[in-house]
């Protein structure tokens, strides 16, 4: 009983910390695991068993495959087709939501969303429609699509493996399809016809310069003859001021030095293109440093080469290492050659000092640097380009090979020749050997935070079983079965999983609720399959809050959504999913074996 109390205390505290988002979820999960090991709830020899769990290996391989498909250009044709659609919001939302749902069935949810999101933004701007009408539907579409296959989303991967640990054959690649397809069809139809109309009107500006009004804060400053600044390094000048300035470029005669290094030596008659948060800071800079004010700088000026200089509007991905850090703490300007010009959160520009803003996933950054280095640098930082992203998503000439490799693996698993885990690892290896993705890119594509999180949570989930915690929760739910039909008990399990998945990572919801589902099935004398399938579906229904899934966080900034906007579309969609899933599960996976 003491161990059970410790376990539930750790779980409740962890859930609270997940909700506050003060620390990253992988750090919280790993801390919870260490506490449970030190208190004896989790045996020491099992502490790191999760890192060798088939679900962890499968998730890592699927992330590599997703990046390989990204580089291959598999969805390039689809993206261009969507961009050529008419101006009907109904047609555009239908097409993009359906496409992202299909893609999510075979690749990472966030990866599928990253393919379509820049397309949605371009379509919205071209048609003068609010991006909010498009982004939430495709984010929810990516969650719906994950229900189609065993590799569509981490909860499915986890549930498939847990079924194997319970003494049965693990769920196969397409065992989720009969239920998942019905849910996807119902969800996409609802979103396309009626659902997008529930989304608040969040009008996005047409141009990044209008979003941030950046032209009001960029000015030319000249270093006059005899200035004490001559011979100083640029970083010395910046550090000696009390203003939060960004040197966008240095114009030296006919030469343009874009995103100059901090070690660049200043010279007389240099013209510095400077950006600050407030015009008053510009005047202070002129007064204290002895600059000559030349004039306001506009985009497209002849003195700055637009072929060399790149301005890009980007969104911080949930897995980016920028999350929780500031531009100053990571030396963004000096280490990466990227100037941060502005930050927007929930559709509004932040007016704090840029160097002091602590980044969050979903923040939109306006950055500037050399065009030739911009794409690679942003990828390394974990940022997704939005406004300036080209519609081409890869190399068309490599489309056929990854499709053949992936299709071969799917066929092999469908006929039972190899396990899902072995198949996806083989596909990832073949993509590396075929040159579709480089080995360095393969390692970079793995979201180590989710890997550590799942690996740490798996022993916690097992502890629910060994301490009797899962049995206790199942006993409480069995009281419902004494009063109502078994279908209501299944409904209660699904609703409970849905609520949990909207406040914690969906993988955690699957790990924690799966032991409860198995104990509940045994208590009823029923098959475990419908209850495990119910947990898998419930864990993917993170439609009510932005923190329930990374896809929801990713669209929050570009769509200008508020925290409370999600339930407007998410609540009716959740109700539809629940109404559809109960009869589907009971028909495809009967309660009684």
265 forms bridges with which residues in the sheet? 233
DSSP string, 388-455: T--S--S-GGGSHHHHHHHHHHHHHHHTTSS-HHHHHHHHHHHHHHTTSS-HHHHHHHS-HHHHHHHH
**C-alpha distances in angstroms, 536 versus 321, 501, 512, 517, 531?**
29, 10, 11, 10, 9
Q: What is the pLDDT of residue 310?
A: 64
Q: What is the pLDDT of residue 202?
A: 64
In this model, does residue 385 exceed pLDDT 70? yes
| Alpha carbon distance 520, 475 (integer Å) | 7
In this model, does residue 84 exceed pLDDT 80? no
In this model, does residue 28 exceed pLDDT 80? yes
Q: What is the pLDDT of residue 398?
A: 65
pLDDT tens by residue, 423-449: 889 989 998 998 888 888 888 778 787
pLDDT band at 347 (very low <50, low <70, confident <90, very high): low
Mean pLDDT to the nearest integer, 308-318: 74
Chain mean position to CA 426: 25
Q: What is the pLDDT of residue 390?
A: 42
pLDDT band at 184 (very low <50, low <70, confident <90, very high): very high
Average pLDDT of every residue of the chain: 80
In this model, does residue 207 exceed pLDDT 50? no
Mean pLDDT to the nearest integer, 400-417: 82
∠ CA 256-257-263, rounded to 5°: 155
In this model, does residue 162 exceed pLDDT 70? yes
* pTM of the predicted model over 0.75: no
Q: What is the pLDDT of residue 299?
A: 41
Q: Is pLDDT larger for residue 312 or for residue 278?
A: 312
Q: Which of 22-31, 74-83, 407-416 has the lowest mean pLDDT?
A: 74-83
Q: Which residue reads 């629940």 in tokens?
A: 578
Helix-, strand-, coil-residue percentages of the chain, each rounded to 5: 60, 10, 30
pLDDT band at 509 (very low <50, low <70, confident <90, very high): confident
In this model, does residue 300 exceed pLDDT 50? no
Q: What is the pLDDT of residue 140?
A: 95
> Which of 84, 94, 200 shows the shortest CA–CA distance to 137?
94
Q: What is the pLDDT of residue 208?
A: 46
| Alpha carbon distance 196, 562 (integer Å) | 16
Give the rounded percent of residues in the chain with a pLDDT score beyond 90. Answer: 16
Hey, what CATH topology would domain 208-386 get?
Alpha-Beta Plaits (3.30.70)
Q: What is the pLDDT of residue 86?
A: 66
Mean pLDDT to the nearest integer, 88-116: 85
Mean pLDDT to the nearest integer, 284-307: 57
Delimiting residues of CATH 3.30.70.1450 domain(s) in the chain? 208-386
pLDDT band at 170 (very low <50, low <70, confident <90, very high): confident
């Amino acid at each position: 009983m003491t161990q059970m109390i410790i376990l539930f205390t750790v779980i409740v505290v962890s859930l609270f910390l997940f909700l506050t988002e003060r620390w990253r979820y992988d750090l919280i999960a790993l801390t919870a695991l260490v506490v449970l090991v030190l208190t004896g709830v989790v045996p020491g020899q099992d502490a790191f068993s999760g890192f060798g769990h088939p679900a962890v290996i499968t998730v890592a391989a699927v992330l590599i495959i997703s990046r390989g498909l990204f580089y291959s250009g598999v969805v390039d044709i689809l993206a261009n087709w969507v961009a050529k659609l008419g101006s009907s919001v109904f047609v555009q939302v239908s097409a993009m939501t359906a496409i992202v749902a299909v893609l999510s069935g075979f690749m990472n949810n966030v990866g599928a969303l990253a393919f379509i999101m820049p397309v949605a933004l371009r379509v919205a701007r071209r048609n003068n429609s609010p991006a909010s009408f498009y982004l939430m539907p495709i984010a929810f579409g990516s969650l719906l699509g994950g229900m189609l296959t065993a590799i569509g989303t981490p909860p499915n991967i986890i549930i498939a493996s847990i079924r194997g640990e319970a003494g049965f054959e693990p769920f196969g690649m397409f065992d989720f399809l009969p239920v998942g397809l019905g849910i996807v069809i119902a969800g996409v139809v609802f979103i396309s016809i009626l659902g997008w109309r529930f989304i608040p009107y969040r009008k996005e500006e047409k141009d990044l310069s209008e979003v941030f009004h950046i032209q009001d804060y960029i000015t030319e400053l000249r270093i006059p003859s005899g200035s004490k600044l001559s011979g100083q390094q640029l970083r010395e000048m910046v550090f000696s001021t009390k203003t939060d300035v960004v040197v966008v470029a240095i114009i030296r005669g006919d030469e343009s030095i874009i995103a100059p290094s901090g070690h660049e030596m200043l010279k007389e008659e240099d013209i510095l293109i400077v950006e600050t948060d407030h015009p008053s800071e510009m005047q202070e800079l002129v007064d204290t440093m002895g600059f000559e004010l030349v004039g306001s700088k506009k985009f497209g000026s002849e003195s700055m080469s637009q072929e060399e200089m790149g301005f890009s509007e980007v969104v911080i991905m949930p897995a980016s290492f920028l999350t929780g850090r500031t531009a100053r703490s990571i030396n963004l300007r000096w280490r990466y050659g990227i100037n941060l010009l502005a930050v927007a959160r929930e559709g509004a520009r932040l007016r704090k000092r840029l160097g002091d803003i602590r980044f969050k996933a979903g923040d939109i950054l306006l950055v500037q640097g050399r065009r030739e280095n911009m794409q690679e640098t942003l990828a390394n930082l974990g940022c997704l380009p939005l406004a300036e992203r080209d519609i081409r998503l890869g190399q068309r000439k490599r489309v056929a090979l990854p499709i053949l490799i992936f299709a071969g693996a799917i066929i092999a698993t469908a006929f039972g020749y190899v396990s899902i885990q072995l198949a996806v690892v083989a596909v990832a290896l073949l993509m590396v050997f075929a040159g579709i993705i480089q080995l360095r890119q393969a390692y970079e594509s793995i979201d180590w935070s989710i890997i550590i999180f799942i690996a740490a949570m798996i022993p916690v989930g097992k502890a629910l079983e060994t301490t009797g915690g899962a049995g206790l929760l199942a006993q409480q739910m069995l009281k419902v079965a004494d009063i109502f039909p078994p279908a209501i008990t299944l409904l209660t399990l699904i609703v409970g999983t849905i609520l949990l998945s909207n406040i914690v990572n969906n993988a955690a919801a699957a790990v924690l609720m799966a032991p409860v589902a198995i104990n509940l099935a045994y208590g009823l004398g029923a098959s475990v399959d419908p209850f495990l399938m119910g947990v898998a579906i419930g864990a993917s229904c993170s439609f009510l809050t932005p923190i329930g899934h990374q896809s929801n966080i990713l669209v929050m900034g570009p769509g200008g959504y508020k925290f409370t906007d999600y339930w407007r579309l998410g609540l009716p969609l959740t109700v539809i999913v629940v109404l559809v899933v109960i009869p589907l599960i009971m028909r495809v996976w009967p309660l009684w074996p």
